Structure 1
């Protein structure tokens, strides 16, 4: 299911729920440790964090960790390492990134960014930002996109903003207004690119990418792209790749390339694009398109050469495992080994699965995750 459609369903399901402000009891569910592969003590990346979104209204966002050095997948590690944190991670984990020695988890409906020590996931504090979505970094600052209003689909949903945060003090230093319901961001040079979705204002979606000058922290331009934008990834040549989710009816999902020197769209790929990850010269793209007209999903996997900007028409899963993946929901590539990690959110209400493929697309191992796994980040080895 596309994220916009999934969020709509979960929002409706959450109406009438009263969310408790504290744990129902004092019992902390211990983490689960499952061996999944051969230990690699000298791996260039020590491990990978997985942020599971959890179902909206259930307060079930959770953090897992795959340890390369031991070959063990550790499920639900935050609670036992932070027993005094009320409500644990919180409601709906939407992004996870590392900057310096800190791990940042964006918890959307709980209106916070949980900040942890990357080495042991001990909580270092939180950044309070209303309906926060994604986070990126540059020059000692964190940038967090915000819907700037409650979780509510309405025609008059407010315009969004991006908050600048000092990573040493965890204090918001500046804000800039962008478009409606801003999503993922990418930094290229001294510019921040923000995908505006307008998802709460359906069918009147936003269709722009905001360009922010990081020095003055002002919006200098809006680039007209397509409706319901979501993901933004930068390549090594300074172009950015932006996904459009379409309207789930007549307008399909597509992928766009923006030239950041001219700040204009220079290429369109007519493929389903729910998410992507760029590693080296290759973009790994999957699409999970829902249609209200047919009531069906179309799942696709593609690869793009970002140097030549050509579609390779190649599925990056080559052994047929994609037939077992019900709903792809996240993708990331190990920079050193080129292993490909893909998550399966399944039915959005039960535990998901993380798949690890070698660089040729053949399955190496899999692990059971928390609910709705979708956001991953690698941890560099200290050796």
Structure 2
């Protein structure tokens, strides 16, 4: 039976392609400011939120939440960079802050946009074909990339590129598995989740282990098919999500002990995204099935110290009933406020929700299309 390609390239892609044929060349969206309740003074001053935008529409956009002033600024990239004709680009897939710079991975535009973290002004564009995610360590940025044409089952193995964050030039790259996704660094090793999402009949199922000194792959950990998210906790464990095959093989969450580099625990739950703060992994699941044509949506918290699924909830006031498709999540490490985004129908502006530590909604604001990726500013 023919199966479609990854989660991010399924429903959202089909909807965007159908719309693309009847729209004119998209124009950059102007900035818009929204007043929200200000937060307490903490080392976290705010956060950037990348809206993915629909494929082939150049609708990726960048928002900024000023927590101190109580101001949500939408579409700040276009305001800061008016000479960039098509705005941020096509499908914003990740964001990170390192030092004085802000990095946004723009997947279909094949680039990493590097900006001044205070102003959002472009410093440089780094070209990497079909780039996906970014992480940082010891003055270097590491970017995973699929390479090849989007959706091509004959695409080559993916790579991880090492970028010097001072010169903003690529230093080295190393081959990993097919269609690599998220990464994390633990004890001078970089762990990379491989998906193989372009060949559903032959998904990847490994995490590549890269020694950062030699920049060589020193191990491949067998985990599960179609891997996606990969987060590290403070105990040196990795939490890795498997999306299954959307048919008979369900989604799961695996825990890897990086000392032994083996899977030590499996949670039989679907996890689409998670954010680990201290001893808690906050997660949501939007598990899609081609058999039913629908989603099963859940929210939860895992105790990463004891490695157990708790009965705690981070939304307690019923607001989850308002959320159509949860698509991004982050937790303020100081206030413990939880931020959840709603992608809605993937073709119209989404919503950002803020919840206090008791799970009560503090506010909500309208975002760009498909709000997804957070980066805190200190």
**TM-score, structure 1 normalization:** 0.94
> Please, which of 241, 250, 256 is the counterpart of residue 243 of structure 1?
241
Shift of 1:5: 3.2
Matched, 1:51 2:54: no
CA distance in 2, matches of 1:272, 1:184: 17
> Please, which of 301, 304, 326 is the counterpart of residue 302 of structure 2?
304
Which residue matches 1:376? 374
- Cα RMSD between the aligned structures? 2.0
CA distance in 1, matches of 2:213, 2:18: 42
Matched, 1:362 2:360: yes
**Secondary structure of 1:198's aligned partner:** coil
CA distance in 1, matches of 2:26, 2:134: 30
Which residue matches 1:4? 6
Matched residue pairs, number?
374
Shift of 1:43: 3.5
Which residue matches 1:290? 288
Question: Structure 1 residues 132 and 15 mapped into 2: Cα distance closer, same or farther (>3 Å)?
Answer: farther
**Secondary structure of 1:199's aligned partner:** coil
- The answer as to whether partners of 2:324 and 2:343 remain within 8 angstroms in 1 is yes
Question: Structure 1 residues 63 and 123 mapped into 2: Cα distance closer, same or farther (>3 Å)?
Answer: same
Which residue matches 1:33? 33
**Secondary structure of 1:64's aligned partner:** strand
Shift of 1:203: 2.2
- Runs of 4 or more, structure 1, over 2 Å off, are 2-6, 8-18, 22-25
CA distance in 1, matches of 2:5, 2:92: 13
- The answer as to whether partners of 2:26 and 2:57 remain within 8 angstroms in 1 is no
CA distance in 1, matches of 2:181, 2:26: 32
**Secondary structure of 1:80's aligned partner:** helix
Superposition pairs of residues 153-232 of structure 1, within 5 angstroms: 153-154=152-153, 156-232=154-230
> Please, which of 342, 345, 359 is the counterpart of residue 344 of structure 1?
342
Question: Structure 1 residues 80 and 23 mapped into 2: Cα distance closer, same or farther (>3 Å)?
Answer: farther
- The answer as to whether partners of 2:197 and 2:226 remain within 8 angstroms in 1 is yes
Shift of 1:296: 1.6
Which residue matches 2:105? 106
Shift of 1:84: 1.4
Unpaired runs of at least 5, structure 2: none
Shift of 1:66: 0.8
Shift of 1:39: 5.6
Question: Structure 1 residues 29 and 327 mapped into 2: Cα distance closer, same or farther (>3 Å)?
Answer: closer
CA distance in 1, matches of 2:39, 2:190: 39
Shift of 1:23: 7.1
- The answer as to whether partners of 2:285 and 2:299 remain within 8 angstroms in 1 is yes
How big is each residue's C-alpha offset from its partner over 1:239-277, in whole Å with a ceiling of 9 and x where there is no partner?
010011111110111110000000010000111100000
Question: Structure 1 residues 23 and 173 mapped into 2: Cα distance closer, same or farther (>3 Å)?
Answer: farther
Which residue matches 1:14? 17
Shift of 1:306: 0.5
Superposition pairs of residues 100-139 of structure 1, within 5 angstroms: 100-139=99-138
CA distance in 1, matches of 2:18, 2:370: 20
Matched, 1:317 2:319: no
How big is each residue's C-alpha offset from its partner over 1:51-82, in whole Å with a ceiling of 9 and x where there is no partner?
00000000000000111121111111100111
- The answer as to whether partners of 1:11 and 1:151 remain within 8 angstroms in 2 is no
- The answer as to whether partners of 1:23 and 1:87 remain within 8 angstroms in 2 is no
Matched, 1:333 2:327: no
How big is each residue's C-alpha offset from its partner over 1:78-102, in whole Å with a ceiling of 9 and x where there is no partner?
0011111232110000000000000
How big is each residue's C-alpha offset from its partner over 1:218-245, in whole Å with a ceiling of 9 and x where there is no partner?
0011101000000010000110100111
Superposition pairs of residues 75-86 of structure 1, within 5 angstroms: 75-86=74-85
Shift of 1:143: 0.3
CA distance in 2, matches of 1:153, 1:295: 24
- The answer as to whether partners of 1:133 and 1:146 remain within 8 angstroms in 2 is yes
